[in-house]
Amino acid sequence: MITKTYSVPSISCGHCVNTIQMEVGEMEGIESVTANAETKMVDVVFNDKTNETAIKELMAEINFPVAA
């Protein structure tokens, strides 16, 4: 398993947190997703059924792009 922490500046409230956790949490290969509205960071734990590129693509699709 791999753990990554991403900076997502567009997180502004609890709804954003819920959206990210729900949408990313539904991806194959995702073990857990924890978003934080105060730090605007997202911790993702995933296995080899997905990868960082796929996770970042989904985040961009749902309007929460990962900061470069």
The CA distance from 44 to 48, in Å, is 13
Q: How far is the CB of 39 from Cu ion (least distance, A)?
A: 14
Least Å distance, CB 17 to Cu ion, is 7
Query: Interface with Cu ion includes 13 (CB under 5 A)?
Result: yes
By CB under 5 A, is residue 9 in contact with Cu ion?
A: no
51 close to 38: Cβ distance less than 8 angstroms = no
Asked whether 66 and 44 are in contact (CB, 8 A), the reply is no
Binding window for Cu ion (CB under 5 A); candidates: 2-10, 13-21, 27-35, 56-64 = 13-21
- Is residue 21 a contact partner of residue 52, using CB atoms and an 8 Å limit? no
In the complex, the residues that contact Cu ion under the rule CB under 5 A are 12-13, 15-16
